[in-house]
Structure 1
Amino acid sequence: MMQRRSINFLLSLVGFALFAATVLWRSWQPITFRESEVEDRVVVSAPVLLALYGGDRFLAANMETIRLSATGVDQGQVDLHYLVRAQVVVAKLNACHEDNYYLANGMLTWGGAVAEGNEVLRRAMNCRFWDGIPPFFYGVNLSFFDHDTDRAVLALQTASERWPENAATLQRLAVMLRAEAFADEHLALNYLVQQRDSSKDPKLRDMLSKRVVRLQGLISLRHAQRVYEQAHGALHDLQQLVRSGVLAALPKDPLKLGYELSGGRIELKEMKIPGMESQR
């Protein structure tokens, strides 16, 4: 027993010495500022968190999720760059974490960071082999944002296998996707409203409400585009909808990302997260 205590004490002493040496070395390094970089919150990497929590990745993931859910929203504003990096770290520690994939879908995917939010969902779908919700979220996102029908159908079929009580609905949705028999923005709106209404977290409900408003703006714009093109031909600029009198004004996006014409179709504008491409 005494020998074990001595070993633990020596390990603690060595760890503290390494930490002190690192801090001392860092204090002598010059501080540089780059105008192109955005000041952001610190996110501790997964290996460091694993070491800090004694190798318990589940505890590390739980504590980091609690921290990011408490600090990711400040006075109604989401620090998206911070959430993206933090939630990717949690997914690396514990891809099965339920709160992490739910928050990632609501705040990241539908907040403009589509690829990053979907990556957290993909990890959750592979890890939570019993859960039909991650593949359902993932399938809807693939259909709506990426227009990838084949992968969306596969995800929805996976969801139906894991979610027996909703299997018939999910299978029908997959068939409708194949037949392209529904307006996907209306499906997405119903899905997002359901997510918002089922949330018990007031902060998350507020964030999802903004995404609902954003999606309603897209639906309004696409309807206006159809009206405009029936009368005037192809739309080349969103302002043409206002100049022609089809819309009194372009809808406001509460996330301030806006909308864009892509391939002749109006889409939600996505946020590009610098440096995240290499992490996928």
Structure 2
Amino acid sequence: MLALLGFGLFSAASQWRAQVPERAAPVVEGRVVIAAPVLLALFGGDRFLAANLETMRLAATGVDWGQADTGYLVRAQQEVAELNPCHEDNYYLANGLLTWGGADREGTEVLRRAMHCRFWDELPAFFYGFNQWFFNKDIAEASRALELAAQRATGNAAGFRKMAVMLQAERFADEKLALDYLIEQRDAARDDPKLQQMLDKRVVRLQGLVALREAQRRFEAKNGALASLEQLVESGLLPALPEDPLRLGYELKDGRIILKKMKIAGMEERS
């Protein structure tokens, strides 16, 4: 009798649940990030264990419904960098998801810490140097970091030094080089489909920037300085403005089209 009663309740609940309309994807805001000193105390003073577990937590909870929660990742990854700046997963995720997701300053800071801590690893220095050049136009700092990467490299020292020389000479179109670089990162993540999918959105975002800047060059060759992005569509150079899969978009600033940055509460742009 109990088994029949239980089965009847289960069947009734299943039928009722099937009639309930599916809810929209939830929006998670204000996720809790535990400060590094508190994590250190919780894990008995073992900062490496605390950093490992916090990195696993943010990797598992930092993405909902295919969208990265950039504000949460910024705060969480900074705490991990405070605990263990050498953490490999932390700096790699920061470069892929923060730097190219509208929080380049915060992502580059995680890389800076990793570069100083991981004295044997050329990748943090390379990522840091590349970001200093592409986002900040700081050629001197970028060249210094690339030289550091070359000193640590086991097989690509010449490539790093060549890039540093090319930066100094400013011989290439930066957005196209950046696109090639990001495509390589995406393709290298083939063993992690979720990461590859998120990096692919950054590739699409950068492809939009390349198309906009190319159209801007063609527009200004005939009409003078570009006043708004809409002029590229009105002139027939583009059928429509590129859609940014991260929904941040693009903007015209000081005569140059750039990627819009994410506005993070408490971490506004510094002058």
Q: TM-score, normalised by structure 2?
A: 0.87
* Counterpart among 72, 95, 114 of residue 85 in structure 2: 95
Decide which moves more: 196-205 or 130-139. Answer: 196-205
Decide which moves more: 157-166 or 57-66. Answer: 157-166
| 1:59-91 residue CA offsets vs partner (Å, 9 max, x unmatched) | 000000000001111110111111110000000
Match of 1:86 in 2: 76
* Counterpart among 85, 97, 116 of residue 106 in structure 2: 116
Match of 2:11 in 1: none
Identity of aligned residues (%): 67
Q: Which consecutive residues of structure 2, in runs of 5 or more, have no partner in the other structure? A: 1-27
Q: Which consecutive residues of structure 1, in runs of 5 or more, have no partner in the other structure? A: 1-37
Decide which moves more: 184-193 or 106-115. Answer: 184-193
Number of matched residues?
241
Task: Determine the C-alpha separation between the residues in 1 that align with 2:149 and 2:123.
Answer: 7
* Counterpart among 222, 226, 232 of residue 213 in structure 2: 222
Quickly say closer, same or farther: Cα 1:189–1:266, change in 2 above 3 A: same
The alpha-carbon deviation at position 277 of structure 1 amounts to 6.1
The alpha-carbon deviation at position 272 of structure 1 amounts to 2.4
Match of 1:129 in 2: 119
Task: Determine the C-alpha separation between the residues in 1 that align with 2:210 and 2:145.
Answer: 25
Letter in 2 for 1:198: A
Q: How does 1:135-214 map to 2 (within 5 A)?
A: 135-199=125-189, 200-214=191-205
1:105 and 2:95 equivalent?
Answer: yes
SS of equivalent to 2:86: coil
Tell whether the 8 Å contact from 1:185 to 1:215 is kept in structure 2 after alignment. yes
Tell whether the 8 Å contact from 1:73 to 1:203 is kept in structure 2 after alignment. no
The alpha-carbon deviation at position 276 of structure 1 amounts to 3.1
SS of equivalent to 1:267: strand
Q: Aligned-pair RMSD on alpha carbons?
A: 1.3
| 1:168-210 residue CA offsets vs partner (Å, 9 max, x unmatched) | 0110000000000011111111111111111122111111000
Tell whether the 8 Å contact from 1:68 to 1:83 is kept in structure 2 after alignment. yes
Task: Determine the C-alpha separation between the residues in 1 that align with 2:120 and 2:268.
Answer: 29
Task: Determine the C-alpha separation between the residues in 1 that align with 2:154 and 2:57.
Answer: 34
1:58 and 2:48 equivalent?
Answer: yes
Tell whether the 8 Å contact from 1:61 to 1:90 is kept in structure 2 after alignment. yes
Match of 1:23 in 2: none
Task: Determine the C-alpha separation between the residues in 1 that align with 2:218 and 2:82.
Answer: 47
Regions of 4+ moved over 3 Å? none
Q: How does 1:1-12 map to 2 (within 5 A)?
A: none
SS of equivalent to 2:225: coil
Tell whether the 8 Å contact from 1:242 to 1:250 is kept in structure 2 after alignment. yes
Match of 1:271 in 2: 262
SS of equivalent to 2:135: helix
SS of equivalent to 2:261: coil
Task: Determine the C-alpha separation between the residues in 1 that align with 2:111 and 2:222.
Answer: 42
SS of equivalent to 1:164: coil
SS of equivalent to 1:120: helix
| 1:139-196 residue CA offsets vs partner (Å, 9 max, x unmatched) | 1111111111111111111111111310001100000000000111111111111111
Letter in 2 for 1:177: L
Q: TM-score, normalised by structure 1?
A: 0.84
Letter in 1 for 2:104: V
